[in-house]
Structure 1
Amino acid sequence: MAAEASTALLDEYTTLFDAAGGAALRLSETDPIGKNDVLLVIDMQNDFLPASDAPDGGRFGVAEGGSAVPTMIALINKFTDAEAVVVATRDYHPVDHCSFDSEGGPFPSHCVQGSVGSKFFPPIGEALTEARKRHDNVHIVFKGFFEEIDSFGAFKYAEPHAETRLAHKLDVPVSCGVPWTGAFKLKQSNLSNDIDAPPDVLSVTKKVPLADLLRTAAGGAVKRIFVVGLALDFCVLDTALTAAGADFEDVIVVLDASRAAHIPGVGSVGSGFLTDPKTMVEQCADKVKFVNSSAILG
């Protein structure tokens, strides 16, 4: 990680978020973490970290992403110690994925299957590896591996939401792609030796949707889902919204364990954010809450 862990962008976005009405969605405290709680760590892969933090990645880096990593690791440890459920997602795209600009999509090529960029950012990978040694309820899931449709969120999209939100092949009905949205548990035969192990060749034939995995892992009764990762206004937001859409009632985004997409000269909000926090506040009203990590970590 970079030597200087700046939070200037987090501070700016939080101010904008609160001014847009986000303060009303914030929790000041939370109950202690228990076995029926879930931590979702979203897309903490080399390609989503800035190249200054991840020299082998950075193809779609989120500014200041590295500065959120220590908080995420503390949360992974907190949930593991509480014997709660920890799930980390991996964006896992084929080389000709519909979201890539080379295929007419909006984004640069990133997290290509088998590439270094698709692997976990090493500090996160190490934290997950250690967590798996201490507790057997730490899981890896994959998303975005069908060429025809993207998936920001880790839960299945409703068709109207997918139509307007996700890149997809125009010659294929969205209804054909929707079953492949969200994240899936896939068999990884070498996972015990390598946190970045690829899925087995035929694992997709027995894929387990994340919603089903969580209900099983939490003993049939998920209490709360906490979401962290990159980027706040894309994959973290959509994971929270699709979780609420999957009938999980208590969904909470940990603000300081995420970062919003920020590209100066491209983004039009504040100093260069791509998404207006007001939009996020409107989408999350009555569905998703927000909290700072201090309310969880103590």
Structure 2
Amino acid sequence: MTIFEVDPDRPDEARAVYQYRWTPQTGPFGIEQGTMDDPGIPVDHSLVGHRRALDGIVVPARPHFGFVGGAPRAAESVDTIPPGYFGGNIDNRRAGSGARIYLPVAVEGALLSIGDGHFSQGDGEINGTGLEMSLTGTFRLRLHKSGTDTVPGVRGRTAPVIGTPEAWVIQSFRFENHLRDLGRSAQTDVYTRSSVDHALRHAFRQGRRFLRDVHGLTEDDARALLSVAADFSVTQVADGNFGVHVAIRRSLFHPPGGSARSAGA
């Protein structure tokens, strides 16, 4: 376990303070926790040893909300950890200040939820967590009705889309809709049946459709551009329904100065 701190005089960076190994702790209900798998357990620091960590290393701020989602079409209570077509626990660091996040409306009123503030997180969230922190955000909501009012970059997508000033970021997961695809045991099976391979395949298909629908590219052109100019990244492998996203730079279609050069490979 690594503990970081943010200095109020340097709010754009975080530094590690110390590390400690988890030792069995007694939770608030008197149950001994042998592993750190239940949030909110007070740690008795007299029971753990401390050591220095990451000396001289600075983690730059990437503030964002990990959870941005509407309610999915489901009749019962839903585990909020696995994300899906409705958004939710996407954990994509690009969902920060200035970004536009496009989500489908699956239920009446959308029932938008936002939370899981992060100071910073790397793609993959490979250790299961980012630098979690309290965040206060200001949001502007707009309803795009299906049809002519739909944003071209979002039309036809079956997963969340993040628009930044630099790129379209098309989010995909192992299961587009695990609540539907995995049946009655979906909320447990999603944790054991996820794979990055399938998430990448879905991201490729979403990116290809984006290029064909929005920019009128042929199948061959879309495949070529995805291979030489799009960036596929693992969003997270921490939330059950593994995520992969593809970033397609806006400048590919609107180059500065409008000039172009020929190149061959």
Please tell me the TM-score bracket, short chain as reference: under 0.3
Structure with greater strand percent:
2
TM-score scaled to structure 1, two decimals?
A: 0.23
Structure with greater helix percent:
1
TM-score scaled to structure 2, two decimals?
A: 0.25
Whose RCO is larger (CA < 8 A, sep 6+)? 1
Select the structure of larger CA radius of gyration: 2
